Amino acid sequence: MDSRRLIFGIVGLMALTAVAHSAQEKISDDHYVSRQEHEKLKGDYEKLKQEMEQLKGQMQALLKREAPAPAQPPAPPSAAPSPAPPVATQPAIEELKKELRTVKAQAEATKPGSTKFLLTGYGAAGYADRGRGKSSFNAVFAPIFLWKLGDRVFFEGEPLFELEEDETKVDLEYAHITYLLNNYVTLGAGKFLNPSNYFIERLHPAWINKLPDIPLPFVGETAIQAESQLGFQLRGGVPIGPTRLGYAFYVSNGPKLRDSGEDAGTLDFDNFEDINNDKAVGGRIGFVPIPYLELGYGFEVAGVHGNGLRSVDAVTHSVDANYVRSVGWLRGNVDFRAQYAWLEIDNPGVNQLNFKNQRDGGYAQIAYRPSLAAVPILKDLEGVFRYDWLNLPANAPLNADEQRWTVGLNYWFTPSTALKAAYEFDDRKGAIDDNAFLMQFATGF
């Protein structure tokens, strides 16, 4: 099938889906109940009903004993309002309500897997038609396992299943145990999302990311900042009057330097069995001067080397700004993001890396959703615009600077389920541009 027809077909399908959905009632967010849970709740209900009948009987017997003999026939129902319940019934009703709440809480608490464990996560299915490659469908599944092991101890883990070529690729996104030291400090250990990279730590899951793909500086072999760290971290938040400060500092294995091939000079962040004793130290401070605005600064200092090379310093900085809020006069939600990162790696003094190894990149994105609009279908539509870029060292084997302009349109079925469509205008220096049409259906559960 001609790819242009396919694109029009998919866009048409998206529009039809949006219209059809808006014409229906909102999908209920209630959970399904298993047969076993249903039977248990039914049993609890029957038991409660019996107890209520017994209480009612006892109450009536009590009232009969306490009430004086009737002196006159009762008034017709329409003649006077029905009398208030006797004072003696009030405590009994309160007792009954308390008991009902206790039973409800017990029923909730005994649901399997919900007392200390929660399975959540996200999944997405997409379609990409890139100018320089073949069009293809894709899918990703990322369950997140959460265990609350006590008031202070917590474990979170996320395997990521992706389809790559002819295989299903599995990555451990994070496996992270934390301990709350006090109200403002948490100690964490394991593999965790990179705290110095705001986009990756907070915004990359498909049901949160407004576009189907990830900005240039954070993906692929030329990435400036890592997706995750393997080590220890200290993090927390401190309110400062009307403002607040969030922080996270870590020590980790850090990256290694690729010293040969076409990606020589780039960093390999998958350094799980550290190749040296040099570690990376980094972190991020996020400042919230007014509600809904966060400004952040992140950094990382690492000693890196390739095979047989001397260790050199790799220093990364990043600044980010995020502003998200519902604006009455715009009748909707405004979501602004920007992040800029730059990296400098010292020269280890070998021929293949004999160039000034500096790279930088970033993105700025704005999204608007008319969530306060009067027309129902508009409330769930969201327009997105993003500009992202990546500058590479001029004399490196991989040196094609790139910039992209992406426009997107999303339809939100629920707060965590969206159908996204986007078109990317690509501009590569000295290489063929890679314009792309992207679609993604993403859900968080």
Nearer to another protein, 220 or 291 (CB): 291
Region 331-390 residues binding another protein, contact defined as CB under 8 A: 338, 340, 362, 364, 387, 389
Separation between Cα atoms, residue 91 and residue 55, nearest integer Å = 12
Region 194-233 residues binding another protein, contact defined as CB under 8 A: 201-203, 207-208
Nearer to another protein, 148 or 305 (CB): 148
191, 235, 258, 386: which one binds another protein (CB under 8 A): 235
Separation between Cα atoms, residue 80 and residue 309, nearest integer Å = 98
248, 343, 345, 384: which one binds another protein (CB under 8 A): 248
Closest Cα partner for 197 from 1, 339, 62? Answer: 339
Check residue 405 for interaction with another protein (CB under 8 A).
yes
121, 126, 188, 282: which one binds another protein (CB under 8 A): 188
Number of residues in contact with another protein, rule: CB under 8 A? 72
Closest Cα partner for 309 from 344, 340, 265, 271? Answer: 265
Instruction: Specify which residues 130 forms β-bridges with.
Output: 436
Check residue 36 for interaction with another protein (CB under 8 A).
no
Region 115-134 residues binding another protein, contact defined as CB under 8 A: 115-118, 120
The DSSP string of 196-221 is T-HIIIII-STTT-SSSS--GGGSST
| CB of residue 165 to another protein, shortest distance in Å | 31
Separation between Cα atoms, residue 239 and residue 36, nearest integer Å = 46
| CB of residue 27 to another protein, shortest distance in Å | 12
| CB of residue 210 to another protein, shortest distance in Å | 10
| CB of residue 319 to another protein, shortest distance in Å | 5
Q: Is 413 exposed, middle or buried (0-12, 13-18, 19+ CB in 10 A)?
A: middle
Place of tokens 């101890």: 153
Closest Cα partner for 401 from 428, 379, 375, 425? Answer: 428
Separation between Cα atoms, residue 313 and residue 427, nearest integer Å = 31
**Per-residue contact track with another protein, 132 to 161, x per CB under 8 A?**
--------------xxx-----x-x-----
The first and second tokens of residue 107, run together, are 């029923």
| CB of residue 161 to another protein, shortest distance in Å | 20
Nearer to another protein, 232 or 387 (CB): 387
Check residue 423 for interaction with another protein (CB under 8 A).
no
Separation between Cα atoms, residue 335 and residue 302, nearest integer Å = 33
55, 103, 281, 321: which one binds another protein (CB under 8 A): 321
